[in-house]
Amino acid sequence: MSHTEYAGFLPLAHLPVLLATLMEQGYSCLGPVVENGAIVMRELAACDAVPRGMQASQAPGRYQLGRDPHNRYFAWANGPQAIKPLAFAPQETLWNVQRDEHGKLAFEAVMPDPPRQAIIGVRACDLAALALQDAHFLRDGRRDAHYAQRRDRQFLVAVQCAEPAATCFCASTGDGPTPTAGYDLALAELPEGFVVQAGTAKGAAVLSALQLVPATPYQIEAANQQGQAAAASQTRALPGRNLREVLMRQLEHPRWDEVAARCLACGNCTAVCPTCFCHAEADVPALDGQSSQHERVWDSCFGEAHGHLHGFNVRPDIRSRYRQWLTHKLATWHDQFGRSGCVGCGRCIAWCPVGIDLTEEVAALTAGSTP
């Protein structure tokens, strides 16, 4: 791991002790489970319920579960679900409004009441994505109470990616594969156990309760080397971390037409992307006209309705919607947040039904240009 603060060592067989400790401290534990053929985060029934030996091979438009020959706990790279839905709910009611007998409207906020959740197996790219979601939903003067309520109750147990998927390119965005910030605890899985480090006071309290022996210099070095090897194994990359200027010079590039001919505008890429935060809000009135609920649902810049503005559509075709998505994510995001909106998780590549590969599109759009 890349930092030098105290590191403990948790033998492989003692992983349930970590979960039991978290449960004792009042957290429900979410971890990887197989659902509909993919690895997603769900509540674990017991502290020994983290499955071993799962792996998934990924390619453009392809995700296939398999077995890890080394029977590791965390040999799988990210599935379709990021941490995003656990903080920014895909659909929720923000407030209710009720009309009384005098016709007066009474508004009442509807707040979520999630349990304290420890999420086991968070990857570095998703920590970086969560920092971007925080920058949007928790910004000064615009703190989103619903998002904040969920985030405040999360305890993040990050895991170093030892074996990135073929679709991963977090090394080129600077966001992985070793977690460096944003976690409460971070684990690096070695054949005999885990190197464990705390990133927050909450994490340090759990680490102290575990009473681990210190990790040896050899174990810490093995974890470091594992992270470096995982970064070196990534075959996809973006050509630079700031593509703002080069992409904004290519707004009329013929590649936009070419990709638009393949893109279905299904919005899968925005649904799985851990940094996308676009949403729509709507009132859902009761049939008697006396009350309504104000709801927020995830939306996508690939949807036709998302571009409607006062009687006309600013993005009437797929070309303009794909261009909007890519140039927001990789170019104008720098104006909003001081960095790119892509953390290199590769989900938009694996979960695109027609296998559109963001890294390939960027390479075509920027060929011969200096980033």
What secondary structure letter does DSSP report for 330? Answer: I
Residues 6 or more apart from 302 whose CB is under 8 A from it?
A: 263, 265, 266, 267, 269, 270, 318, 321, 322, 325
Which one-letter amino acid corresponds to residue 36?
N
210-269 residues in contact with ligand SF4 (CB under 6 A) are 263-269
Min CB(347)–ligand SF4 separation in Å: 4
What residue ranges in 210-361 does DSSP mark as E strands?
213-214, 279-285, 291-298, 308-309, 312-313
Classify strands 91-99 and 291-298 as parallel, antiparallel or unpaired.
antiparallel
Of 223 and 331, nearer to ligand SF4 (C-beta) is 331
Backbone φ, ψ for residue 348 (5° rounding) = -65, -20
Min CB(173)–ligand SF4 separation in Å: 7
Min CB(320)–ligand SF4 separation in Å: 13
Min CB(295)–ligand SF4 separation in Å: 23
Of 40 and 266, nearer to ligand SF4 (C-beta) is 266
State how far the alpha carbon of 73 is from the alpha carbons of 12, 38, 152, in Å: 9, 15, 27
* Cα distance between residue 185 and residue 198, in whole Å: 4
Size of the site for ligand SF4 (CB under 6 A): 25
Are 221 and 190 spatial neighbours (Cβ–Cβ below 8 Å)? Answer: no
Min CB(279)–ligand SF4 separation in Å: 16
Are 202 and 308 spatial neighbours (Cβ–Cβ below 8 Å)? Answer: no
Rg (CA), the chain: 22
If one asks whether residue 29 binds ligand SF4 (CB under 6 A), the answer comes out as no
State which of residues 302, 306, 362, 366 lies at the interface with ligand SF4 (CB under 6 A).
Answer: 302
Min CB(108)–ligand SF4 separation in Å: 35
Are 64 and 46 spatial neighbours (Cβ–Cβ below 8 Å)? Answer: no
Classify strands 117-122 and 105-109 as parallel, antiparallel or unpaired.
unpaired
Of 80 and 114, nearer to ligand SF4 (C-beta) is 80
Of 50 and 125, nearer to ligand SF4 (C-beta) is 125
312-351 residues in contact with ligand SF4 (CB under 6 A) are 329, 342-348
Binding mask 272-301 for ligand SF4 (x = CB under 6 A): xxxx--------------------------
Min CB(322)–ligand SF4 separation in Å: 6
Of 165 and 207, nearer to ligand SF4 (C-beta) is 165
Of 219 and 327, nearer to ligand SF4 (C-beta) is 327
Report the interface residues with ligand SF4, using CB under 6 A. 263-269, 272-275, 302, 329, 342-348, 352-354, 356, 358
